[in-house]
Structure 1
Amino acid sequence: MPDGTSRAAETRAARLSVILLGLCWGFLWVATALALRDVAPWTLRAIGTGLGAATLFVAAKFAGFDLAVPTRERIHVAIGGFFNVGAFHILMAFSQLHGATSRTVMLAYTMPIWTAGLSVLLLHERLDRVRLLALTLCAVGVGTLVWPLFADGFSAFVLYAVTGAVGWAFGTVYMKWQRVTVPPLANAAWQLLSGFCFLLAGTLLFEGLPRLWPISSTSAFAIVYIGLFGVGLAHFLWWTIVGRLSPLTASIGALLAPVVGVTASIVVLGERPTGADIVGFVLIFAAAACVLVPGGSIKGKA
């Protein structure tokens, strides 16, 4: 097969992977909401992340990727895993327990905007007009989304979701701040393993030995989906896509996730967004698009 034809086929496959990635990440939120009906949050996150880490290591091994990490950078990868995987996943689980999944999804995807702000503070990057617009849209969107929720008192899920998004952003910026040179897929695999260790410790501390019986078949299926597809396959797809496509095209996978997540929450979970929710969703999505699409750094997550 000619080289040009081969490259074209690889590009088409990568673009299809972008769509698959958006679906994997988007449905992850609904799967989590379903599993949380029967499984405690620490246990669910530990098992899901453990399955995801195992899936990613196996996929990387069969694909021939080198997962070695320089000794001097292991501590930085572990810290990144704590924020990007461990803290993010458990905070979002508690957010979903206390509030609507669709709202948690959109608050989680304020992450690119927090990343832009932290990059200015820690990496001394310039706050250009696009990022300033994104920060403004995000602030207005979050305010529109959460203000009505505080009418009857404090909404804990907002604190969990926003803290998780900021933690995810800090973990991302931290890796650049420390100039970590670990290849992206190896970085993702070891961060997942690091996050799993934290979540397992939290499970044993707060919930005791994991208990998965009795649970419904729906919850069991959701757990398998979370581990194999929502975490493991999604991370593998993301880091292989980034290596094959332009940043603009790859970022579509990150932007598809909240759209799929919110839509699935409405269809599968029966959630009904209010007018304020819809306006807030649109503004936050526009803010994330401003940061992700016009040539900024690529940030993606489950």
Structure 2
Amino acid sequence: MNGAAPASHGQSRALLVLLGILWGLNWPAVKVSLTGVSPWALRSIGLGAAACTVFALGLLRGHPLAIRSGRERLHIVVAGLLNVALFNILLTFAQLGAATSRVAIITYSMPLWATLFARFALGERLDAMRSSGLLLGAGGLLTLLWPLAGGGLPHGVLLALGAALSWAAGTVYTKWARLSSAPLAMAGWQLLTGALVALTGLFSFESAPYFPAWHAMRGEVMLALGYHILFGMALAHIIWFSIVARMPAGVAALGTLLVPVVGVTGAVLLLGDRPTSSDLAGFALIFCAALCVLLPRGSAAQPRTR
């Protein structure tokens, strides 16, 4: 059994690298998709595909998908509104108003806000490492935003910041609610909540036809949209839940730090983004801050072995 455990952890770490690549490249894929697909249609398709994938995975594995408690249903809907609906919709519109690399950098201040919210909402203590992370994160955001403040912050930057705050609030809310439903069920219903919100926005703010005609779309848009649906949403969620089932949550969360690195690199290479020196300095500080906040404490820092 001892020989099998390292192999299993090696597979999990390989999956984390693959997940970082899939989610990281999803940033430029969304940007390209938005040149031919409306934000509401993009999120309706993407979140709907992700919800269907998670539910299908749950059925194949025989996991319970029903939420039997009325209290839990309410909490899952609220968490879905914050963690999925607001987060994804704000990010989509943010990419229309700011460079993808800058949006990705600001968005990955999420763990810092979650740590700060948990301090006040849940009474969680801040140790020296997390306090250092908050200071580094504040310095990173200040470094990135200060040069932009003179002419007024671009709305894309504000939307990215709003997305980070929304995700953090949803994470802390979920912790506060102490939900006991199966993780796969909670994820599926939250994704479905996000998809329904996106569909409501689509029908409310856009005129028919709501979805683009495939034959009228440019080749690169079709390729980017296909990547977003099949790899950035569906396959990525399958991999994520496989990782969570195999590894401690802290280690899994730490692995997602590869996402902004791939996202920023992809935006530079594929979209021609040119981050400024303040962007890169801010990114370095925020990345180190997230590392401080997400680094597992004590024995959780090492993967469990049998």
What TM-score, normalized by structure 1, do the two folds share? Answer: 0.92
Matched, 1:216 2:218: yes
Match of 2:63 in 1: 65
Distance 1:220 1:91 in 2: 23
210-219 or 103-112, larger mean C-alpha shift = 210-219
Matches within 5 A, 1:89-168: 89-168=88-167
Which amino acid in the other structure matches residue 77 of structure 1? Answer: I
Which amino acid in the other structure matches residue 40 of structure 1? Answer: S
Distance 1:252 1:180 in 2: 23
Residues 63 and 182 of structure 2 are in contact (CA less than 8 Å); yes or no, is this contact kept in structure 1? no
Match of 2:272 in 1: 270
Which amino acid in the other structure matches residue 269 of structure 2? Answer: V
Residues 100 and 271 of structure 1 are in contact (CA less than 8 Å); yes or no, is this contact kept in structure 2? yes
1:88-133 C-alpha deviation (Å, 9 max, x unpaired): 1110111110000001001111000000011011111112222221
Residue 248 of structure 1 and its aligned partner are, at CA, apart by 4.8
Which amino acid in the other structure matches residue 216 of structure 1? Answer: R
Runs of 4+ in 1 over 3 A off after TM superposition: 3-9, 246-249
Q: Secondary structure at the match of 1:243?
A: helix
Distance 2:136 2:241 in 1: 28
Residue 150 of structure 1 and its aligned partner are, at CA, apart by 2.4
Residue 194 of structure 1 and its aligned partner are, at CA, apart by 0.8
What TM-score, normalized by structure 2, do the two folds share? Answer: 0.91
Count of residues in correspondence between the two structures: 296
1:147-190 C-alpha deviation (Å, 9 max, x unpaired): 11223333111210011110011111111111111222221111
Matches within 5 A, 1:1-302: 3-72=1-70, 73-209=72-208, 210-213=210-213, 214-295=216-297
Distance 2:94 2:259 in 1: 18
Which amino acid in the other structure matches residue 160 of structure 1? Answer: L
Residue 6 of structure 1 and its aligned partner are, at CA, apart by 4.1
Residues 250 and 296 of structure 2 are in contact (CA less than 8 Å); yes or no, is this contact kept in structure 1? yes
Distance 1:218 1:48 in 2: 17
Distance 2:259 2:241 in 1: 16
115-124 or 208-217, larger mean C-alpha shift = 208-217
Distance 1:47 1:204 in 2: 13
Residues 33 and 222 of structure 2 are in contact (CA less than 8 Å); yes or no, is this contact kept in structure 1? yes
Residue 70 of structure 1 and its aligned partner are, at CA, apart by 2.6
Let me know the Cα RMSD of the aligned residues: 1.9
Residue 246 of structure 1 and its aligned partner are, at CA, apart by 3.2
Which amino acid in the other structure matches residue 39 of structure 2? Answer: P
1:273-302 C-alpha deviation (Å, 9 max, x unpaired): 11111100000111111111233999xxxx
Q: Secondary structure at the match of 1:163?
A: helix
Distance 1:120 1:83 in 2: 19
Residues 251 and 296 of structure 2 are in contact (CA less than 8 Å); yes or no, is this contact kept in structure 1? no
Identity %: 43
149-158 or 242-251, larger mean C-alpha shift = 242-251
192-201 or 230-239, larger mean C-alpha shift = 230-239
Identify unmatched segments of 5+ residues in structure 2. Answer: 302-306
Residue 71 of structure 1 and its aligned partner are, at CA, apart by 2.5
Distance 2:76 2:229 in 1: 21
Residues 34 and 222 of structure 1 are in contact (CA less than 8 Å); yes or no, is this contact kept in structure 2? yes
Distance 1:181 1:235 in 2: 20
Residues 145 and 153 of structure 2 are in contact (CA less than 8 Å); yes or no, is this contact kept in structure 1? no
Distance 1:8 1:95 in 2: 41
Distance 2:153 2:293 in 1: 30
Which amino acid in the other structure matches residue 292 of structure 2? Answer: C
Q: Secondary structure at the match of 1:32?
A: helix
Residue 242 of structure 1 and its aligned partner are, at CA, apart by 1.9
Pair 63,10 (structure 1): closer, same or farther in 2 beyond 3 Å: farther
Distance 1:42 1:225 in 2: 17
Match of 2:304 in 1: none
Residue 211 of structure 1 and its aligned partner are, at CA, apart by 2.6
Residue 251 of structure 1 and its aligned partner are, at CA, apart by 2.8
33-42 or 240-249, larger mean C-alpha shift = 240-249
